[in-house]
Structure formats: C-alpha cells, structure tokens
Amino acid sequence: MSETSRKPGAAQRQFFADQLRMLFAAAGRPALKKVVSEAAAVARAMGSDRAVSVQRVSDWRSGTRLPASFESVHPVLVVLIRSARELNSEPPVTGLYSLKQWESWWKNARGQTGTPRTEKTPPLVPQGVRPYKGLASYQEDDARLFFGRTQSVRALADVVTAAHGQGPVIVTGASGVGKSSIVRAGLIPLLCGGGSDFRPLVLTPGTHPVARLIELIPGLSDVEDRTDLAAVQTALRAELERHSATTLLIVVDQIEELFTQCSDSAERIEFLRLLEIAATGYVGDAPAIVVATMRSDFYDKAVTSPVLARALERRTKTVQPLERSDLVEVITVPARMVGGGSRRAWWT
C-alpha cells in the first residue's frame, strides 16, 4: 500500500507535518541527507534493511505525503529526537520527544481515531440563532455554541493556570485548526465566567502592538520607563484595582502579526518584554496571565525572539485537528440547540 494522500484528512496530515518541522527546528535544522544517513544506521541496528530517501522525508515534512507505516518514520524520529535532546533537554511542545506521542499523531493522521463519546442533551437557544460560524472564529459571546473541544479547552486551562507567574503561554497549531476559537470561546469563558476574579483583555498586535496594549491598559502610558519591572507591574495592578479583579487574562490573538504587520523591531521587542513582565511573578504573584495564539509555520521566526523562544520551549499547547467524534459534536449539537428552526435559515 503506497504512502498517500488517501484517507486521512488534509488537516491531520498537515498537523503531523507541522510537528515534524518543529522537531527538525528543535534538532538544529540538520541537513536531510545527514538525517537519512543516520536513520538508515538506526534502522539496521533495529534489524531492518529498509531505508527512506531524502525526497520521502522532505515530503513527510511538507505534508505532501504521510508515512505508510509508523515503522518507516520511526528511525527518522529517533535521530531527530536524539539531536533535539542534545540541544534542549525539554521539548518546545509536550510530546515532541515522545515516540508514543508520535505514533498517536501518526494514527490520527491516518484516521485511526478513538471511540465515540456519549451525547449530552444541550440546552435550547432562541429560535433564529444561527448555530454555525462558517469560516469565522468563535468569540467569547459564542461560548454556548462552541462544541467539540471540551478536552482541549480543559487541557489548555491546566497549562495556563500551571504557568501563572512563569511567563506567557503559546497556543500553536496549523492555520485554521481553531486556535483562536479555543482561546476566545473556550478558555476565556471557562476562566472568566461565573463571578471569576479574572479580567480578560483581548488584542491582535497589528502594526503598533504597544499602542494597542496601552489602549487596553491606559496606565501603561504613564510609565516613563517600560523596562522598569516594578513600574509596569504597578500599572497593571492599578488596572486590576479599577475593575475589582485579581488577575488580568491578556490574550494576544495571532501573535504572528508581530512578524507580518509590525515593521518596527524595537516596538516588537518592547511589546514582548511587556508581556513577559506582566506574566512573570518577580515579587509575589504575577498581575497577569498572558496567552498568545500563533500559527505553527511561524515557529522559526518566533524562536529568534528570546521571549517567544522561552515560551515555546517551556509553556506551549498545540491544538490538534478535530477527531471524527469531535467533528460529529461540532455539527450536530448546535443544530439540536436551535430547537426546530428552518435548516435553510442556519446557512443564510
């Protein structure tokens, strides 16, 4: 059976490719010829005489093809993980150094997913509400229509709360996989709803990210030296007091805009420095939790920034494509919530 584009969905194949590119970057971006040569030696040591070509590994990395068997990619992963560990003992994302996790990612890409979940009866929403967002991201107000990501949202909340005081958290994944929706319609309502003491602030960096941050936290404009840790955190705590909150939840959606829209490198550095100060507990608890979403194809650019490199190495959550059972929930549950409205009206 040939390696394919065949049954696995494009999103799952792309996720596998994204992870493989990230592993290559973590391993120091070794030449493909060198990786293939060392992988052949590993395969021989494992009792196999099968070898892969440079072109085949390149196709796996680009997402053009998927390994026909896990055994074929296993020696390549061994070589890359070994090199990555020599450079960084901790993986930039959870599971990147785990062969068991790689096998799970490969199975998901091949369409070998888990068992279906039991359905819950959702509450009804007023007739006329459109239950589907199409290609648009879900926002905070769409939380009641956001389904299929319960486990991912809870896992992200665990990562975020565990990282409080340690620095920003990066939510990464392929373009269109649902990073913004998970944060906006999942994480924010979970952490900030029900009388929570969190105050959410959401922005995209745009061309002038520092100005956008100051729009949300006006007290920062009064800080003469925004490299002064104490002064910046004092301004943030004043913002908390104004809103009777204990912690700011600063969400930077599409942080890759720092590289695509912000042409001022000094402002980019200042913005990232402010985020790190806000999310780091230098004295006592940090005044903020910072969560940023980032497309995985910007990994190479992001690691050139010390702030983002530290976050990617230590505090990252990767969003995977929806599994079949999740996709069924995404499609069917919002429809049931409408309570009998015209199906045609959902799409018009």
How does pLDDT run along the chain (348 residues), one tens digit per residue? 444 444 446 777 888 999 999 999 999 999 999 999 988 887 776 567 778 899 999 999 988 889 988 888 988 998 898 888 888 877 788 778 877 778 778 988 887 654 444 444 455 555 555 655 555 565 655 555 565 567 777 878 878 877 788 899 999 988 887 788 888 888 888 888 766 788 899 999 999 999 999 999 999 999 989 989 899 999 999 999 988 888 899 999 999 999 999 999 999 999 999 999 999 876 556 899 999 999 999 999 999 999 999 999 888 888 877 667 656 666 665 666 665 444 444 444
What does the angle CA 273 – CA 276 – CA 279 come to, to the nearest 5 degrees?
Answer: 150
pLDDT at 91: 79
- The CATH homologous superfamily for domain 140-322 is P-loop containing nucleotide triphosphate hydrolases (3.40.50.300)
pLDDT at 291: 95
pLDDT at 53: 92
Q: Is the dihedral of CA 347, 254, 313, 167 positive or negative?
A: negative
Tokens 């998927």 -> residue? 66
Chain CA centroid to CA 257, Å: 15
Task: State how far the Cα of 199 lies from the Cα of 201, in Å rounded to an integer.
Answer: 7
pTM of the entire predicted model: 0.59
pLDDT at 138: 58
* Whole-number Cα distances in Å, 98 to 77, 101, 197, 220, 227: 9, 5, 37, 42, 38
pLDDT at 341: 43
User: Residue 289's beta-bridge partner residues?
Assistant: 249
pLDDT at 1: 40
Task: State how far the Cα of 11 lies from the Cα of 23, in Å rounded to an integer.
Answer: 18
Task: State how far the Cα of 252 lies from the Cα of 293, in Å rounded to an integer.
Answer: 7
Could you say which DSSP state residue 31 is in?
A: -
Task: State how far the Cα of 174 lies from the Cα of 321, in Å rounded to an integer.
Answer: 8
Task: State how far the Cα of 306 lies from the Cα of 57, in Å rounded to an integer.
Answer: 30
- Greatest Cα pair distance, the chain, in angstroms, is 68
Please list the residue range(s) of the chain that carry CATH number 3.40.50.300.
Answer: 140-322
pLDDT at 104: 76
Strands 198-203 and 288-295 turn out to be unpaired
338 token code pair? 């409408």
User: Residue 180's beta-bridge partner residues?
Assistant: none
Could you say which DSSP state residue 187 is in?
A: I
CA-nearest of 100, 136, 156, 161 to 320 is 156
